[in-house]
A = this chain, B = another copy of it.
Amino acid sequence: MALEYVVPGLTEEVSEKIVAILQSRLSQEQEAALVLKHAHWNVEGPNFIAVHEMIDPEVTAVLAQADETAERISTLGGSPDGTPDAIVRNRSWEGLGLKGHQSTTDYINALIAYYDEFIANDRKAIAELDELDVISSNIIQDHVQELEKFQWFLRSHVA
C-alpha cells in the first residue's frame, strides 16, 4: 500500500506500519457499529426499552471513532478501506456469536465477550503505536477509555 505523502517528521516506513495498525482498528470499529445496531433491533425481554436505548449513543460513539481513525489514515498519506468486504477480510477476531431475537441478557453477554476482544486489540495497538506515533496512539487511547466504560455498563447488568 504505497503512500501518497508523509506528514512532516515521519518516515515512509514508519507511516506504513501505523496505517496498517489503524486499518485493522477501522474495520473493527465499523463492525462494532453494525453489531451494536443489530443487537439494538433484536433484543427482547422485560428490560427491552432500557437496553434498546442504551445502545444508540454507543453506536454514535463508535461511528465517530471510525471516522477519526479513517481520517488519520488519510492524513498520514494512506487510503482507508471502508467497504463491508474489508471488514470481513480484515477480521482477525471472533465476532458476535448471536443471531435473531434473543433476551437482553444473552445479547449483553455476547457484547461483553465482543468487547473483550475489541479492547484487547485496541490496547495491543496502543502499545505498538507508542513506538511509532504519539498522535495516533492518543487517538486509540481515547477510544479505549470510551469502550471500557461501555463494557462496565454491560457488565453491571449481569453482575
Chain A residues in the interface with B (C-beta under 8 A): 4-5, 7-9, 30-31, 34-35, 37-38, 41-52, 54, 66-67, 70-75, 79-85, 87-88, 95-96, 99-101, 104-105, 115-117, 119-120, 123-124, 126, 134-135, 138-139, 141-142, 144-145, 148-149, 151-153, 155-159
Residues of B within 8 A of A141 (CB): 134-135, 138
- A79-B73 Cα distance, complex, nearest whole Å: 36
Decide: A45 and B159 in contact? CB cutoff 8 A: yes
Write the nearest CB–CB distance from A43 to chain B, whole angstroms: 7
Write the nearest CB–CB distance from A63 to chain B, whole angstroms: 8
How many copies of this chain? 12
Decide: B34 and A30 in contact? CB cutoff 8 A: yes
Write the nearest CB–CB distance from A49 to chain B, whole angstroms: 5
Partner of A116, one of B8, B41, B124: B8
- Residue of B at shortest CB range from A79? B100
- A34-B27 Cα distance, complex, nearest whole Å: 11
Write the nearest CB–CB distance from A153 to chain B, whole angstroms: 6
Decide: A120 and B156 in contact? CB cutoff 8 A: no
Decide: B83 and A119 in contact? CB cutoff 8 A: no
Decide: A49 and B43 in contact? CB cutoff 8 A: no
Task: Report the 9 A-B pairs with minimum CB-CB distance, sorted nearest first.
Answer: A38-B82, A44-B159, A75-B152, A48-B156, A50-B50, A8-B120, A79-B100, A44-B156, A9-B123
Decide: A123 and B156 in contact? CB cutoff 8 A: no
Residues of B within 8 A of A155 (CB): 4-5, 44
Decide: B157 and A45 in contact? CB cutoff 8 A: yes
